C-alpha cells in the first residue's frame, strides 16, 4: 500500500510540550516545531516571544491518514491543552502561547469544528472552549535546538512540563475516569496500592521480575502499551527493567522528591498510575533504566496481540 501524507498544524502553547504526544504514534511521519499565523517572515524564537510578530508557537505534523486519521489527531490535541484559556497556556502568557487549530482543507475545518463542538457539549469544562480554528498559512521551522526538545533535554523538559502547570492540568482533566471504588474492586490490593498510592512492591517477589516470554506490557488500568519484552533485561534489582518505553508519549515522567530522594517518577499518561522510576544507569545508548512495578502491568503475549487490539506491535516479533 502506498504511503499517504497529509499535514496537520496545531498551536498548544509552548511547542516543546506539543511534540512528544504525537511523535511516536503509528502513522506519524514527522513533527516539526515552528511559528505560524503572524506577519514576520522567518521569525526567530526571541522575536516570537517578544509578542511583536503575531505568530503562534506551533507544531506541524506530517501523517498518514490511513493509519492515524485527522479525527484522532484532534482528540490527542485537545488532551494536551487548556482549551478554555484565551491568554496563553498555563504559566506561559501572551499571544504566541494561544491555542489554535490551523486547517489545511475544508474537510479538516469541518472535522475541527465538529470536534470542538463535541468537546463543548461533553461538559468536561465549565468555561467556553476558546481555541480558534484558522486557515493554515506559512509555517516557519524553529531553530534546531527547539526540535525534539523532549528527547534532547529530557530532565529539563520534564521539570518544565511539571513546573508550568501543564502536566498537573492534564492529570486532573484527562485522567482515567474510573472511581477509586471501581478500581478497588478490579485490582488486587498490591495493584491498587502501587498504582493509586505510589507504593513499591517487594523486589524478587513480583510477577514479572524474571519473566522472559515475548510480548508487550500494558498499563493494568488503561491498557496503554508501555514496554516490550524486546527492551526488557535483568538489571539485578528484582523488578522488571526496560531500556525504553514503546512510546514515550504514553508515559509521563515527573520529578519526585519523596522519601528524601531526587528521582524521576514514571506514570501512565491516561490512567495517571504510578508505574515506577527511570534511572540513568541502564545499558542502552541513553543509559535509561525504567524500573517498573509488576503490579502496574499486564502482559500480552505476542500471539494474542492482534486479538487484544495491539496488532501494530506484531512486527516487533517477526
Q: What is the CATH number of the domain that holds 20?
A: 3.30.1060.10
| Residue 153 within any structural domain of the chain | no
Say yes or no: 48 and 92 in one domain.
Answer: yes
Specify whether the CB–CB gap between 294 and 281 falls below 8 A.
no
14 is a catalytic site residue: yes
Say yes or no: 141 and 212 in one domain.
Answer: no
Say yes or no: 121 and 241 in one domain.
Answer: no
Q: Return d(Cα 173, Cα 122) in angstroms, integer.
A: 13
CB 206: neighbour CB atoms within 10 A?
21
User: What would the pLDDT profile of 158-186 be if each residue is shown by its tens digit?
Assistant: 888 888 988 888 877 876 567 788 899 99
Compute the average pLDDT of residues 134-151.
96
User: What would the pLDDT profile of 254-288 be if each residue is shown by its tens digit?
Assistant: 888 777 778 899 999 888 899 999 999 999 888 99
Say yes or no: 65 and 183 in one domain.
Answer: no
pLDDT at 316: 92
Last residue of a domain, one of 109, 127, 146: 146
Q: Return d(Cα 170, Cα 81) in angstroms, integer.
A: 7
Residues 6+ apart with CB under 8 A from 121: none
> Which structural domain range is residue 252 located in?
175-317
Q: Residue 291 belongs to a domain with what CATH number?
A: 2.170.150.20
Say yes or no: 121 and 194 in one domain.
Answer: no
Q: What's the structural domain count of the chain?
A: 2
Say yes or no: 127 and 218 in one domain.
Answer: no
Q: Return d(Cα 221, Cα 231) in angstroms, integer.
A: 22
Q: Return d(Cα 90, Cα 100) in angstroms, integer.
A: 15
Using a 10 angstrom Cβ sphere, with 0-12 exposed, 13-18 middle and 19 or more buried, the burial of residue 172 is: exposed
Instruction: List the single range of 16-25, 90-99, 100-109, 164-173 with lowest mean pLDDT.
Output: 164-173
Q: Is the pLDDT of residue 26 over 70?
A: yes
Amino acid at each position: 500500500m502506498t504511503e499517504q501524507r497529509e499535514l496537520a498544524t496545531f498551536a498548544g502553547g509552548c511547542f516543546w510540550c506539543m511534540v512528544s504526544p504525537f511523535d511516536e504514534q503509528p502513522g506519524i511521519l514527522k513533527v516539526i516545531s515552528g511559528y505560524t499565523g503572524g506577519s514576520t517572515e522567518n521569525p526567530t524564537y526571541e522575536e516570537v516571544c517578544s509578542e511583536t510578530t503575531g505568530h503562534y508557537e506551533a507544531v506541524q505534523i506530517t501523517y498518514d491518514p490511513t493509519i492515524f486519521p485527522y479525527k484522532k489527531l484532534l482528540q490527542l490535541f485537545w488532551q494536551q491543552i487548556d482549551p478554555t484559556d484565551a491568554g496563553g497556556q498555563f504559566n506561559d502568557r501572551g499571544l504566541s502561547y494561544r491555542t489554535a487549530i490551523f486547517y489545511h482543507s475544508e474537510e479538516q475545518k469541518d472535522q475541527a469544528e465538529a470536534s470542538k463542538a463535541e468537546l463543548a457539549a461533553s461538559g468536561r469544562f465549565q468555561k467556553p472552549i476558546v481555541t480558534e480554528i484558522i486557515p493554515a498559512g506559512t509555517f516557519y521551522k524553529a531553530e534546531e535546538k527547539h526540535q525534539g526538545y523532549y528527547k534532547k533535554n529530557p530532565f529539563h523538559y520534564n521539570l518544565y512540563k511539571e513546573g508550568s502547570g501543564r502536566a498537573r492540568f492534564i492529570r486532573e482533566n484527562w485522567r482515567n475516569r474510573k472511581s477509586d471504588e471501581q478500581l478497588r474492586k478490579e485490582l488486587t490490593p498490591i495493584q491498587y496500592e502501587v498504582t493509586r498510592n505510589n507504593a513499591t512492591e517487594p523486589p524478587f517477589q513480583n510477577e514479572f521480575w524474571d519473566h522472559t516470554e515475548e510480548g508487550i506490557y500494558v498499563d493494568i488500568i488503561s491498557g496503554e502499551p508501555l514496554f516490550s519484552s524486546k527492551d526488557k533485561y535483568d538489571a539485578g534489582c528484582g523488578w522488571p527493567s526496560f531500556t525504553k518505553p514503546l512510546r514515550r508519549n504514553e508515559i509521563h515522567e515527573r520529578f519526585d522528591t519523596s522519601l528524601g530522594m531526587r528521582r524521576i517518577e514514571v506514570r501512565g499518561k491516561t490512567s495517571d498510575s504510578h508505574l515506577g522510576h527511570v534511572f540513568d544507569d541502564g545499558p542502552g545508548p541513553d543509559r535509561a533504566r525504567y524500573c517498573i512495578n509488576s503490579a502496574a502491568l499486564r502482559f500480552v503475549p505476542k500471539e494474542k496481540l492482534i486479538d487484544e487490539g495491539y496488532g501494530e506491535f506484531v512486527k516487533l516479533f517477526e
